[in-house]
Chains A and B, each alone.
Chain A
Amino acid sequence: MATPPAGAPSVSIRLTVNGTSRALDLDVRTTLLDALRERLNLKGAKKGCDHGQCGACTVLVNGLRINACLSLAVMHDGDEVTTIEGIGLPDNLAPLQRAFLDRDAFQCGYCTPGQICSAAGLLDEAVRGWPSAATGDLTAPVTLTDAEIRERMSGNICRCSAYPQILDAIRDVAGPAS
């Protein structure tokens, strides 16, 4: 177990990260993003703005996507966290990762882990029937139209602007809208 620096108030928590239980003694000021990146050496979640405006830090917590930069790690004792590394690794790409590669749905790659985690989250939200601002009938099952995908992905900025390619990649995995 890693030890926190002297002088900082610390809390012990346990996270299940990508299926593995991890014990952490954490400076209470540590964000979930910094805990993943700097303490658990999972650099896949990116820091693009550090205040919830870009989406590069998107991870799944208990299956739901969140901005890891906006959440203190100590709030997640007992939670299950899935990062991009838990979705798939280079020798074992998940379908979304394969689709991003096929469709060239990234350029610099810095927002990509967040885009893919966000896409994984939205596919599940659609299954759960959660509406978005683009949903017409709030009570009907969600159909992932292009407008729905774009709306639900709009928290993830891609400055290289691979948006058309990202839509194509998500569409490949989501299947046709009809």
Chain B
Amino acid sequence: MSTTLEDYAAPNPISRNRSGIIGRAVDRYEGPLKVTGTAPYAYEVATPAPPIYGVVIGAEIATGRVSGVDDAAARASPGVHLVWHAFDPPSGQAETGARSYVGSQAAAKPVFATPDIAFFGQPVAFVAADTLENAQAAADLIRVRYEATPGEFVFDPAKAEPVPNDEARTGDFEAAFERAPVQLDLTYTTPIQNHCQMEPCATTAWWEGDELVVHTSVQMLKPPQHLLAETLQIHRSKVRVLSRYIGGGFGGKGSTYEDLELAALAARDLQAPVKIALTRQQMFLATVHRPATVQRVRLGADRAGRLSAFALQATTHCAKHSPFIERAANFSRALYAAPNRLTGHFLQRVDFPVASAMRAPGEASGMLSLECAMDELAELLGLDPIELRIRNEPDAHPETGAPHSARQLVECMTDGAKRFGWDKRNPRPGQVRNGEWLVGMGMAAAIRGNFLLPAKAAIRVESDGRVIVRQGMTDIGTGSYTIIAQITAETMGVPLEQVVVEIGDSGFAPAPGSGGQFGAASAGSAVYETGMVMRKTLAGMAAGDPASPLYGAPVEEIDFRDGLITASNKSETLASLVSRLAPAGVEVEGDSMPVAASRSFSQHAYGAHFVEVGVNIVSGEVRLRRMLGAFACGRILNAKTARSQITGGMIWGVGAALSESNAIDPRYGSLINQDLGGYLAPVHADIVDLDAYFLPEVDDKANPLGIKGVGEVGICGAGAAVANAVYNACGARIRDYPITPDKVLPFLPELV
């Protein structure tokens, strides 16, 4: 097991990559199932008996309480098995917040434990019936009566409080800003955004004796397992949570919702499988969203563009009952050099639905401000935006002084600029016209923190030579299945076809799941370490077995390659070794623990976005014309899936810049957009000529694989590059996202 930074950097099967599987553009492991619709998502798994269908009913007020529920008609409706609400809740639930032991990763979250309502859309009733149609019809018959109380339904930054123990200061920002020959003081706003995973949250649950089996759509397996154990007051070993195929997560399935508990509870009561899916509208209201921000950026620089004073302060909101801070300023602590610095967050707690993590929480919002402010500063100084950033490139972390692990931000900007044709940009806005389109280019930097969490894995070699890797990991579309197969194959020296990957089961060796772009590094490192344990185990078996051609070979000289276990010129297959000595198979567990010294490096994934847009002079509509991202994210495990992660993130940035927006209705506290017709995520026609590529890199301070996360860095800065291109195209500096035609039109030339 790797215990030092030297272990990370030492040559290993992944860095040697003798078969070339690491980095190769391998097809997705589970791809054939997904392209044929035969991968069963949570609502689709085969049940041991016909399922009962559950429907959740959400609150129609945001604050107050349920005063009564008229449920007689629903109970009498055909096919109805049960109706639950605060006045007739499921039995056998623990008290809210109960924990049976200290290490539990979740507290009890009983459903309908109180008639109190904390947000619009909060589940207040549940119906289960023999068919979906009967359940929906019965749900329509339920009349919930409310006593509403006044709520706070307006995000008002003036009412926000500083986040405790959060503000970071270096030097004397105020004094330095005051003295700076060039000053910018700008405010940017970003709206509420929604994850819009294509698969709504869903759970199918049944009991096998006293064991609860739950298929659900989540990014992490342990928290729901523990939440169910605590809530249902059973031991966690009796709860098996499976999430084998997940129709998108993006942070929104890092939390769980009432479909989870209700399915388990109803299955217990009804002694039958129960399945529940949230509706699309409930996905907006009753899950989580990225909160709005108001960000103040202050830049103080000399005439050469060197920053002397830098501040980013972000104000955001969260639900009163569910604390969350969108840390939109954090990324900037590591991005640009400036001796005098101020960053911090302010929070208003309001009666909104729940705010939580959405793809690149912090960076995705924060880079929409700073990366545009840098563009504004570049223009003020008559500098190229890339040159301005190069002049402020820090030698080490600008606040902690920690050395960089691997930082190729400048290379991303300069190499990307060449490939994109940045030199053809006219720095003066509004100069390039193509018919009724004004055309412009913009760029922005990308940075996203890199993390490593503890993880375990199990590898089993069967007597037929198949290598089966099992891990309590998830694949939310990120490519976990595929890179786990690649790491296993290269570590064990076997072809990919010999590897079987089984993940998405809480019964397997635990991994942290998918989120914060830590998944591949954390889970992958554990798979690699476990592979090394298996190599040692098999080598010992071969060297000690007189029937093996490797008998007596020094264990440290035994190698694994081409499907063989070899020493000098002798070899045998894994199948022959295992079938002879352990016909039932050989299984080992291994784990990966982050090396503490690794955190003494400033570790991030980096990139640079380049965008060309057209702005229609008649309508003010902004259309993407082309977009290129250059990224440096450590070693790339799979050229194909990594590129897809990045381009997907970039397209999220396009959406954030141009169309994605939600808002709270100040009268009712509900979200105004509750469907995919009102909330405008990008579609095919919005995305033109968009690509990304990676610079060669190995980050040997990050983990034994030398990799960094790619799931989130793609969105970071992407929207700012679009906004900067809009400015370059037509001179409209829109600091209030998204950049919709109504905001652009006043800046456009008069039409004669």
Contacts and interface: CB of A to CB of B under 8 A. Distances in A.
Contacts of A6: 78-79
Interface string B656-667: 000000000000
B36 A164 contact: no
A45 B78 contact: no
Contacts of B603: none
B676 interface: yes
A112 B280 contact: no
Interface stretch (A60-68, A82-90, A123-131, A135-143): A82-90
Nearest to A161: B651
A154 B685 contact: yes
Contacts of B136: 29
Given A5-B131, A159-B250, A161-B651, A29 B137 contact: yes
Interface in B177-212: 195-200
Contacts of A110: 41, 197-199, 247-248
Q: For this complex, into which size category does the number of interface residues on chain B fall?
A: 35 or more
B44 A37 contact: yes
B690 A164 contact: yes
Given A49-B280, A51-B280, A108-B197, A160 B248 contact: yes
Contacts of B38: 43-44, 85, 89-90
B246 interface: yes
A44 B248 contact: no
A113 B684 contact: no
A93 to B, nearest CB: 7
A161 B131 contact: no
A86 to B, nearest CB: 10
Interface stretch (B343-351, B472-480, B515-523, B576-584): B472-480
Contacts of B195: 159
B216 to A, nearest CB: 15
A89 B133 CA distance: 30
A163 B37 contact: no
Interface in A33-67: 34, 37-38, 42-51, 53-54, 56
Interface in B676-693: 676-677, 681-691
B684 A151 contact: yes
Contacts of B687: 150, 161, 163-164
B610 to A, nearest CB: 15
Contacts of B280: 48-51, 53-54
A162 interface: yes
A75 B10 CA distance: 66
Contacts of A1: none
Interface string B631-650: 00000000011011101111
Interface in B25-49: 25, 27-28, 30-41, 43-44
Nearest to A85: B37
Interface residues of A, number: 67
A143 to B, nearest CB: 17
B477 A47 contact: no
Contacts of A44: 36-38
A107 B479 contact: yes
A77 interface: no
Given A90-B36, A156-B684, A164-B647, A109 B79 contact: no
Contacts of A48: 198-200, 247, 280, 676
A71 interface: no
A102 B647 contact: no
A56 B198 contact: yes
Given A107-B479, A160-B648, A101 B199 contact: no
Contacts of A159: 195-198, 248, 250, 681
A16 interface: no
Nearest to B129: A5
Nearest to B41: A110
Query: Which of B33, B645, B676, B682 has the most A CB atoms < 10 Å from its CB?
Result: B676
A171 to B, nearest CB: 13
B685 A150 contact: yes
Given A48-B200, A84-B35, A108-B477, 11 more contacts: A7-B77, A7-B79, A8-B79, A51-B280, A100-B35, A104-B641, A104-B643, A107-B248, A107-B645, A108-B246, A160-B198
10 contacts: A6-B78, A7-B77, A47-B277, A49-B280, A100-B35, A102-B27, A151-B685, A153-B685, A160-B644, A165-B644
